[in-house]
Structure 1
């Protein structure tokens, strides 16, 4: 049996969203700070969930592992770390469950198992969108050395990855709806085909094989007999004399 299109759609979007989500989690570019007072004008400070890097636009030099206690102690940073890690782990488990449910090498997929995998993928995408949206909303209120705060590319990747997981999981969850509707549906009675019976009063004659053989044999015997003449011999009778 060919794999349903909803499962193919979900199994393609889920790994792609996981890769984008992983990049968004480990890369230090959730926000960028420019025009820092007392620093070179070409300095750009990139801040992420786990690291802070100093980059220079003129020389392309990057210095990471920068310390900023006030930034990392913010509540949103701690919550975002936990939610992003939970989303990554849950997405891996969900892809494994969905792959077992699809099982292209069997005659029919396991709709319930694949639907549960899609539901887990959907939850993983929601766990990604929540911290990304929250960080974007409170980005300017987090402590920074400058007022020139801009959105980093990690937030964009996080949004795209989360939306891909939500869409893929939502489509695969249709398997649960199909399973539930299949259980509620009453089984249709077996179809009975009426076979016409031959009654004794039928006007259609019935010929057996033996009857055909006897008829052909009798016809051959009749054809082999000598032909009898219908003419009669003229004999004299007393009345003619």
Structure 2
């Protein structure tokens, strides 16, 4: 089988982009912030009534508290310790329309990309000689759309990163406590998402080239006769030309 290079590129980049976007979607490191917090406040914030010494935290005046938020989960961790607590997003952050928009766009993107990859695999048809170019190109179009949707979600989230869920007196709190002000910045999951989205657009764009039919070569001995290895009629002509004729005498 003669698989076009564009199909090979698309069938490699598209699943890789899907994996990266899915990884970004399920991890809680879309934004991150750090602040100093006294150990007295830390014990009541993470688990009321439990002293920080019992949880393996050294008794110091202040500890570095790291908070990270994702689309469906938030986490709070004391740096250089095993003390960590995660919970499903809630409160103003969960109700923020920009967060909900990003969630919907990412879910739609994952669905379209998965559907596009299935169509691309059917179109490439590695088990036959002739690929289904229209089916592969349709899959590429869905993959491109999924990449654009995830890029839109990432752009909306990044643009409003420091303002998401900041309405209300107890935004981002847990156990009824209010977090101190954090200087938030993009985290690792966003970079995975950006890279995966770009790979989706590149892979889908490569599959779109499947709409273009290959040009048939011209037979040197017969310029008026087109010869192409992927066309059934041309293959028959080529096979006839490659047949050797022997004169057997008795």
Specify if TM > 0.5: yes
What residue in structure 1 maps to residue 218 of structure 2?
A: none
> Hey, what does 1:162 align to over in structure 2?
197
Residue among 140, 149, 167 paired with 1:118: 140
CA deviation digits over 1:123-156, x for unaligned, max 9? 1111111010111111112216424111111110
Q: What is the aligned partner in structure 1 of residue 232 from structure 2?
A: none
| Alignment partners' CA distance in 1, 2:63 and 2:99 | 27
User: In the alignment, which of 75, 81, 86 is matched to residue 97 of structure 2?
Assistant: 75
**Equivalences, count:** 183
The CA distance in 2 between the partners of 1:65 and 1:98, in whole Å, is 38
How far did residue 72 of structure 1 move?
1.1
* Distance in 2 between residues matched to 1:132 and 1:146, nearest whole Å: 24
The equivalent residue for 1:29 is 29
Contact 2:72 2:89 in 1 (8 A): no
Distance between the aligned counterparts of 1:136 and 1:190, measured in 2? Answer: 59
Listed as ranges, the gaps of 5+ residues in structure 1 are 183-188, 192-241
Distance 1:21 1:74 in 2: 22
Establish whether residue 100 from structure 1 lines up as the match of residue 122 from structure 2. Answer: yes
Secondary structure of the residue aligned to 1:148 is coil
1:171 corresponds to which residue?
206
- Rate the CA distance shift 1:146–1:171 in 2: closer, same or farther, 3 A: same
Q: Secondary structure at the match of 2:24?
A: helix
Residue pair 2:20, 2:195 contacting (<8 A) in 1 also: yes
Runs of 4+ in 1 over 6 A off after TM superposition: none
Structure 1 residue 27: Cα displacement: 0.7
Residues 105 and 10 from structure 1, CA distance in 2 versus in 1: closer, same or farther, beyond 3 angstroms?
same
On the 8 A contact 1:94/1:121 being kept in 2, the answer is: yes
SS of the residue 2:87 aligns to:
coil
CA distance in 2, matches of 1:119, 1:68: 35
User: Which residue of 2 is the match for residue 195 of structure 1?
Assistant: none
Q: Call closer, same or farther: CA 1:66–1:168 in 2, change over 3 Å.
A: closer
5+ residue gaps, structure 2, are 43-61, 167-171, 173-179, 216-222, 226-250
The range that moved more, 16-25 or 135-144, is 135-144
- 6-15 vs 35-44, which deviates more? 35-44
Q: TM-score, normalised by structure 2?
A: 0.68
Match of 1:153?
A: 188
Cα distance between partner residues in 2 of 1:43 and 1:158 = 25
Higher relative strand content? 2
CA distance in 1, matches of 2:122, 2:135: 7
Alpha-carbon distance in structure 2 between the residues aligned to 1:10 and 1:101: 12
Q: In 2, distance between residues paired with 1:67 and 1:2?
A: 50
Q: Are the counterparts in 2 of residues 33 and 146 from structure 1 also a CA contact under 8 Å?
A: no
1:59/1:82 CA distance change after superposition, 3 Å: same
What SS does the corresponding residue of 1:42 show, helix, strand or coil? strand
